[in-house]
Amino acid sequence: MLGEREHIDPKDFVSLCKSGKEKDWVTEWHSDIANDAGYTIFGVDICGGEELPDINSIYTVILGGTLHVVTENRTWLHNLRSWLSDYRQTKRPLLAICGGHQMLSTQFGKGELKGRTGGTLAGTYKVQLTRKGREHPLFLDMSEFPKFHFANYLHVLPSSQQNNGILATQDHSPAISIDHGGNWFSTQFHPEASKESWDIYYGLHEKGYISNYSNDHEGSKLMINFLTNT
């Protein structure tokens, strides 16, 4: 659900994969990880009009980020929330990323979506794992301060109930990874992304952010942990 054409044009990303679509470059990058974990990975371009899959045919879900705000009045966002409500009943795993993290935390929980005090956070930065995070399978074999890619100007202020599930924090953002229970996890950062994808996007929009991204990050490790340990 990266963005409708008003926000992003796949032609700008054909260096990442033939179609230039996020669903394709993400699946190509992580197909080996998925296969090693016993999964066949495929993508659905929700905001491009593709239909959500039959819940009975899905064993785990990675919900991508978005350039839209998850509270926007868009049909595909309403359809997604309804689909997630049904999927929640299966108790199968889900990893929600960035806008997905915001949706889970505020629309399936009582967290609050607010603007970051420092404005947009774009780059590769350290996070601090909480005690729960250091012991959590999602962050297995990572240091207390692993690095991940960020690209957000909104963040989640957790509810008192969500405080018990916080896995990581970052500067003034108190809940950038949450265990929501029932095999649902979310991260404000982007474990699925690469420096190259951000270089392309910000090269077209905000060139000053490009130097903030690094190839030194733990994104692939988190994806492996999600698919093999949760």
Q: Which long-range contacts (CB under 8 A, 24 or more apart) does 21-28 make?
A: 21/45, 21/48, 22/64, 23/64, 25/197, 26/62, 26/64, 26/192
User: Which CATH number does 10-229 carry?
Assistant: 3.40.50.880
pLDDT in tens, 95-118: 999 999 999 999 999 999 999 999
Residues of the chain with pLDDT under 70: none
pTM above 0.75, yes or no: yes
pLDDT score recorded for residue 146: 98
| Average pLDDT score, the chain | 97
- Per-residue confidence (pLDDT) for residue 230, from 0 to 100: 87
CA neighbor of 162 nearest in space, from 222, 228, 213, 111:
111
Q: Where are the domains of the chain?
A: 10-229
